[in-house]
Structure 1
């Protein structure tokens, strides 16, 4: 159970996970919150669109259709792996589903898959999934023949992992629509247990940069260990202890490169107020505000900064 991410935090989490994001105009305030609750949230639900073409699919998911107004999800995952954000808040994507499945997801207590669902939209025992799940629609005809490109599957893995990492969830919080409702078949074309295996592997290490062109992570190629080019997040307490470390210097140089400098001299290895003010500028550049832009590094903003790796932690 968790409070839903703000638009800024969702965007930062996706970018930190290496997701290529397109923000559809108006997505931050586009929701169905007037129609029912949004949160507390328990997980992520994966769908296929039963449509083709990115522009048409994004328009469909943003606007909805007669009898089912949009947004129909939070993000549309295109064949090329781009995630198009179309909603922030309650979305018409999950509908009614099985309360036992919701409990298993909330408790992260099941084996390779949740128990088979026995409820659906309109059935007597169904519970509202639109209030409890983030939704990603993947562009696919859903006929079992339309391919799932490696870049698209990698984006499904990354987007799901981003939300899980932001909330501290495991891969068991990611389910398919077919695992929620006994009347649904999506996503069709890959197994959710396979996707959860990939997400579990990804969550076991820091976020990684996308694979190089021509070498995307595809079926049978789960995400590998953290990219050694970038410094793992050392934790907020590391900085609050005012360390003297080459990590601080490397961070400061990246902040300067991003146009977020509050330095008069440096940056240098000793963490100080100029570092904190510079990092606050970076957090605001990512869209954070208030206490989320206080200058103390957090996991999402750190991974988005991509600080070069240094083997020497402190001096």
Structure 2
């Protein structure tokens, strides 16, 4: 919980993060405050525009059914930021109170199944230019800009990466942002906040195939299709202190089979430092170095390990 930053402070922290930021018209005083409060704020919400032309003007002006601003900033394919509003903006709409509570507590998000709480007053909102069809690519510069914007605001407020969510995690029926995982993006933000700029793990890109989506929160989950023989990569944020899941045990058995196990006891369902050291040995075996061999699974090394579905 925090009071929103001033327009000047937002400009400062974004530029200090290395971003190229443009000021659009009268953005500092452009808002929907007459319709309700903006603040206290609890986090950052990421969207995609679902269009590619004149998106900055659209996000500033809005349209007949939804007046602007439609966000606070627009993130282009080149990774540049166009500020279009400061104050209440029509970007989040109503969402799930349980999700809001999780953001406030900075814990893992539950499934969004309600739309009863006003999000426009509680979140910064950034629209990233993308068609949202699952095919339109997300350039490296744009993903890095999303990471930087989010990290800058989190750092300014003393938040963790868990204060950053996607619109699809807030309001039932929303799909944005589509084309990369929010768990993957939160992993990138966490690394940046820890001073590991650009750390994606195994050179992973955070992008996801348009027709593939793991279970809620990036964990393996049942779906309408038959379960694959090998467990799909559950996302970098899956592997964290406090995580307990049978997949971790299966991973440990595979690491032992590859001669990389560093366990005195186990493996077990709990993610421990022994798991990290064992996985780091696997990354070294594959030839990864530096930040790509930090002991936290990335998609490339995970797919090569071929962990059976538990």
Give the structure-1-normalised TM-score: 0.63
Relative contact order higher in (CA < 8 Å, ≥ 6 apart): 1
Could you report, residue by residue, the CA deviation over 1:85-130 in whole angstroms, capped at 9, with x for unpaired residues? 00001000000000000000011022xxx1110113xxxxx10000
Structure 1 Cα separation of the partners of residues 157 and 67 of structure 2: 28
Residue in 1 aligned with 2:306?
none
Matched, 1:117 2:93: no
Residue in 1 aligned with 2:13?
13
Where 1:22 maps in the other structure, the secondary structure is strand
Where 1:45 maps in the other structure, the secondary structure is strand
Residue in 2 aligned with 1:240?
none
Where 2:45 maps in the other structure, the secondary structure is strand
Gaps of 5+ in 1: 121-125, 211-216, 223-315
Structure 2 Cα separation of the partners of residues 93 and 218 of structure 1: 34
Residue in 2 aligned with 1:43?
43
Residue in 2 aligned with 1:92?
90
Task: Report how many residues are paired.
Answer: 206
4+ long deviations beyond 6 Å: none
Pairing of 1:63-82 with structure 2 (within 5 A): 63-82=61-80
1:218: Cα distance to partner?
11
| CA 1:25–1:178: 2 relative to 1, 3 Å | same
Gaps of 5+ in 2: 207-310
RMSD after superposition: 2.1
Residue in 2 aligned with 1:172?
162
1:19: Cα distance to partner?
1.1
| CA 1:144–1:221: 2 relative to 1, 3 Å | closer
Where 1:136 maps in the other structure, the secondary structure is strand
Structure 1 Cα separation of the partners of residues 193 and 69 of structure 2: 28
1:45: Cα distance to partner?
0.2
Structure 1 Cα separation of the partners of residues 168 and 203 of structure 2: 20
1:219: Cα distance to partner?
6.6
Structure 2 Cα separation of the partners of residues 136 and 200 of structure 1: 18
